[in-house]
Amino acid sequence: MWQDVKLLNMVANTLFAVLLLLLLASGVWWVVQRPMFTLKVIQIESAEQQELRHVNALTIRDGALPRIKGNFFTTNLDAVRGAFEAVPWVRKASVQREWPNKLIVTLEEHTALGTWGEQGRLLSVKGDVFTANLAEAEEDADLVEFDGPDGSEKEVLARYADLKAWFSKISLAPESLQYSNRYAWSLKLNNGMRVELGREQTSTTLKERVDRLLTVYPQLVASLQESIESVDMRYPNGLALKSSHSNLGLKGKRKPSVAMQDNTL
- Per-residue pLDDT tens, the chain, 265 aa: give them: 556 667 666 766 777 677 667 656 665 555 555 566 689 999 999 998 778 999 999 999 999 999 999 888 889 999 999 999 999 999 999 999 999 999 999 999 999 999 999 888 999 999 999 999 999 999 998 999 999 999 999 999 999 999 999 999 999 999 999 999 999 999 999 999 999 999 999 999 999 999 999 999 999 888 887 789 999 999 988 899 998 754 322 233 333 333 333 333 3
Q: Boundaries of CATH 3.10.20.310 in the chain?
A: 36-109
Tell me, what's the pLDDT at 262? 35
Looking at the DSSP bridge assignments, the partners of residue 239 are 258
pLDDT at position 248: 24
Helices (H), ranges, the chain:
5-32, 57-63, 77-85, 134-140, 153-167, 205-224
Q: How far apart are CA 256 and CA 235, in angstroms?
A: 14
Which pLDDT belongs to residue 8?
A: 61
Q: What is the pLDDT of residue 191?
A: 94
Angstrom distance (rounded) from CA 134 to CA 132: 6
Element (H, E) at 196: strand 194-199
Q: Please state, in angstroms and as integers, the Cα–Cα distance from residue 126 to each residue in 49, 75, 91, 122, 155, following that order.
A: 18, 31, 10, 11, 11
The CATH homologous superfamily of the domain defined by 148-258? Cell division protein FtsQ/DivIB (3.40.50.11690)
36-109: CATH class: alpha beta
What's the pLDDT at 36? 67
**Are 145 and 119 a contacting pair, CB within 8 Å?**
no
**By 3-state DSSP, what share of the chain in percent is helix, strand and coil, each rounded to 5?**
35, 25, 35
150 with 180: CB under 8 angstroms? no
Intervals of CATH 3.40.50.11690 along the chain: 148-258
pLDDT value of position 206: 97
Q: Give the amino acid at 123.
A: L
